[in-house]
Structure 1
């Protein structure tokens, strides 16, 4: 089954050019009311045509679980929707959006949807030891996937820095080389500097660094997959 796009709302906003654009991009389209249920492979597009739609979507924000989604707004609500970026909002499409802009947002959101599904991650509190040169950090990882983890530290390594990691799953200890993909620091006022536009970073609420495992075998990655599934 391929990826599809589910329109959630009254439906009137989805009958025109935007629906045709989605179909032209090769995605299956399903439209339903506000209670429409989406499959795990579907990208949701929520209609905001009036203040009631806006209020309902804002109330839903805490239940969207950081899954990428779009909004189709005939109401000028872009500023009001900014807080939903942390819930997964990837962009706002309107009747005035060009086909190029709408197509870009659609494909971007579906790309992130595919990436998150292909590489599931889970929140953890996992002790980890990191070594880089003469430096050793003993701390915890807060996010884990088969390909990497987010390590909590006030003094993250620079991007592309190499390190060695040690951590343990219930089934086995693991050691691997890793590379820093990005880091998140704090400013002088102790405010987190993150990127709420990026689905991979917006789950993070503390300083640290994301590392990509470069030395795990397929069987070791499968052990991590099993651990993640057991915690879901």
Structure 2
């Protein structure tokens, strides 16, 4: 079931969105060579508790995970791209880190992700991150009332291919609002003009993620962390977006 949100409910989601966006900006700025990524996890726990918010990840136990997930961030390093289970890892020169988080405030949820290279970046890694960011903006631009869900997917896929990457559609964006994962599923590739009609009040997370030299993935032994099947670098960008009569509104942009 898809629940269209009222303008007042979107404003409540925007409160959570601002918090998520601001905390991700802080964590991204903190990531540096020599930092153990668990410090990011503990910083996020403290900020969430101080705000009186709730992590959507803590105790999350979907069918694919080795749950419950007892952390507030997904921290994915280098060839890890999604659902990275936080574990001690001291960031080294050139590490590519993706940070994903979802938080609820007052019963309404927002979800976002960013990727960053610490220290001296490899230009290929910057190209990969840029591709996810440009694809995200293209998907957002296509999230207009009167359009179709396939417009968003097609826009993302077109950017990925233009940058020279394949696209995996096993995991993608999703609806959200009262909970972190709601209908519809938002694939990262598709056909324009197909799929459900986009209406004002629909709230979705749009999240392009890419692997440098493959479109295949594999699960770590921890049951959570998803990696590129060939060990190549990965990147992930995400925003929570509300479709309004005036067009798309990004709730997690700072």
Report 1 or 2 for greater relative contact order, CA contacts < 8 Å, sequence distance ≥ 6. Answer: 2
Q: Larger Cα Rg: Structure 1 or Structure 2?
A: 1
TM-score after normalising by structure 2: 0.26
TM-score, normalised by the number of residues in structure 1: 0.28
